């Protein structure tokens, strides 16, 4: 009989053979073209700004000893920042989506989600009791076909900026469709937080749609350079999540040090001069240069996430390793995380990347065409 140890080994071996074995690697001394620290806020730690508070635990879950005036005040502050009635902080964006999607849609309800939605949304749906269907990426005709035939309360889940492609959801059209069919729109703003809107409030506020969206999820782990997340919605939704969202109820709350870090990141965000953001220039430079290399298929994106299609796990890994040898950190995104044939290098551009670094990256890619 096969032992459980052998079973784990054999599953790992199959992954290895299929060229999709995941392994951890460190990135000291490499040029960062892979983190989600778009604005460089996570580097505050290095410059000493955040060193001055102790890392003490919160001592319990929010419903026992882990709650505080500080976290509730922070929730009100962040909700107001994004022009929302209320907000509830979770320990991560993953937890927030897990809680929201497993608890809110009820048996008999339906969630229609874009096929490119993040694993945390899918996992939340798997934990819950509602029906769920994906629709092809950004295909609003296919979405409408579903909307017109499903019954019960329908929710539509999208990301304002898709994490692997950097593409936008058409939030204006989506909210019109949601209104037409009395569906509730839920928007994951993970990769829009800090990057869009006059103060980095996200795409929903940038497009002035906040009153038409049922719930939004902002993580603090991307452009804010911190950790944790918030679900925004009305007070009723907040109270409901406190009572029914298991990833909120059954876990130790974030420590105060993390919350202070989040507050500082928001204070810093409100002072970002979006008109003079260097990131926009870096983005334009990268797009200009890479589009000149005809051999590469680039996914159209107007965000710092720029993906170069490699076509197979092997090729994506090879290209990432070649870049690493040149001191450049770009990670391969493999199938099945993305569809077979669309395996890619996911290049993240940052405020702190220099023009020389971008040129070096593009020149290295050129040698691999
Ligand atoms: C679209 C999206 N939603 C949610 C998450 C999870 O957020 P967090 O990293 O804060 O857990 C991520 C992170 O990869 C993401 O890309």
Report the separation in Å between the CA atom of 369 and the middle of ligand 1, taken as the mean of its atom positions.
Answer: 31
Atom of ligand 1 nearest to the CA of 117: 1
Distance (angstroms) between ligand 1 centre and the Cα of 238 equals 20
Burial environment of residue 286 by CB neighbours within 10 A (0 to 12, 13 to 18, 19 or more): buried
69-269 has which CATH code? 3.40.640.10
Ligand 1 atom closest to the Cα of residue 95 is: 11
- Per-residue model confidence (pLDDT) at position 44: 74
- Domain ranges in the chain are 21-39+274-366, 69-269
Mean pLDDT, rounded, for 192-210:
97
Q: Which atom of ligand 1 is nearest to the CA of 219?
A: 10
User: What is the pTM assigned to this prediction?
Assistant: 0.93
Output the CA 245–ligand 1 centroid distance in Å: 17
Contact 249, 60 (CB under 8 A): no
Under 8 Å between Cβ of 262 and 288: no
Q: Closest residue (by CA) to atom 16 of ligand 1?
A: 163
Cα of 190 from ligand 1 centre, angstroms: 6
Predicted local confidence at residue 153, as pLDDT: 95
For domain 21-39+274-366, which CATH number applies: 3.40.50.920, 3.90.1150.10, 1.10.4010.10, 3.40.50.300? 3.90.1150.10
Q: Which of 122, 189, 190, 222 to mutate to test the pocket of ligand 1 (most atoms within 8 A of CB)?
A: 190
pLDDT reported for residue 54: 54
Q: How far apart are CA 162 and CA 227, in angstroms?
A: 19
- What is the percent of the chain where pLDDT is above 70? 97
Q: Residue with structure tokens 């900026």? A: 161
Res. 273: pLDDT tops 80: yes
How many A from CA of 226 to the centre of ligand 1?
A: 12
Ligand 1 atom closest to Cα of residue 97: 4
Helix count and strand count (H, E) for the chain: 13, 13
| Residue located nearest, by CA, to atom 5 of ligand 1 | 93
C-alpha of residue 253 to centroid of ligand 1, in Å: 18
β-strand partners of 230: 89, 218
Residues with CB under 6 A from ligand 1: 92-94, 97, 118, 120, 159, 163, 188, 190, 219, 221, 229
Cα of 289 from ligand 1 centre, angstroms: 29
Ligand 1 atom closest to 221 (CA): 10
pLDDT in tens, 329-346: 999 999 999 999 999 999
In angstroms, the CA 110 to CA 27 distance is 42
Asked if pLDDT for residue 45 goes beyond 70, the answer is no
Determine the distance separating the centroid of ligand 1 and the alpha carbon of 366, expressed in angstroms. Answer: 31
219-264 residue pLDDT tens:
999 999 999 999 999 999 999 999 999 999 999 999 999 999 999 9
Percent of the chain with pLDDT over 90: 81
Structural element, H or E, at residue 231 = strand 229-233
More confident residue, 294 or 34: 34
């Amino acid at each position: 009989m096969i032992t459980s140890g052998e079973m784990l080994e054999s599953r790992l071996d199959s992954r290895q053979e299929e060229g999709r074995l995941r392994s951890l690697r460190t990135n000291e001394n490499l040029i960062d073209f892979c983190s989600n620290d778009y604005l460089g806020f996570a580097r505050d730690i290095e410059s000493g700004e955040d060193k001055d508070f102790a890392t003490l635990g919160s001592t319990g879950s929010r419903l026992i000893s882990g709650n505080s005036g500080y976290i509730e005040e922070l929730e009100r502050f962040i909700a107001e920042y994004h022009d929302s009635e209320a907000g509830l902080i979770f320990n991560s964006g993953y937890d927030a989506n897990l809680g929201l999607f497993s608890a809110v849609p009820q048996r008999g309800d339906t969630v229609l989600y874009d096929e490119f939605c993040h694993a945390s949304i899918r996992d939340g749906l798997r934990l819950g009791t509602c029906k769920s269907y994906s629709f092809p990426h950004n295909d609003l005709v296919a979405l409408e076909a579903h909307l017109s035939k499903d019954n019960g309360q329908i929710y539509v889940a999208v990301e304002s900026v898709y994490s692997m492609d950097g593409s936008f959801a058409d939030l204006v059209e989506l909210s019109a469709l949601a209104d037409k069919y009395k569906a509730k729109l839920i928007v994951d703003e993970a990769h829009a937080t800090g990057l869009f809107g006059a103060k980095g409030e996200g795409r929903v506020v940038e497009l002035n749609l906040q009153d038409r969206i049922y719930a939004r999820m902002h993580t603090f782990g991307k452009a804010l350079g911190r950790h944790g997340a918030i679900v925004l919605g009305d007070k009723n939704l907040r109270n409901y999540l406190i009572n029914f969202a298991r990833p909120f109820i059954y876990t130790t709350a974030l420590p105060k040090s993390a919350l202070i870090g989040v507050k500082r990141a928001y204070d810093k965000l409100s002072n970002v001069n979006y008109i003079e953001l260097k990131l926009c220039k870096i983005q334009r430079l990268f797009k200009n240069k890479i589009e000149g290399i005809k051999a590469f298929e680039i996914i159209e994106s107007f965000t710092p996430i720029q993906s170069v299609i490699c076509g197979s796990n092997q090729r994506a890994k090879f290209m990432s390793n070649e870049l690493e040898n040149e001191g450049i950190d770009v990670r391969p995104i493999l199938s099945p995380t993305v569809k077979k044939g669309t395996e890619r290098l996911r290049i993240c551009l940052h405020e702190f990347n220099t023009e020389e670094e971008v040129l070096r990256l593009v020149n290295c890619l050129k040698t691999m065409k």
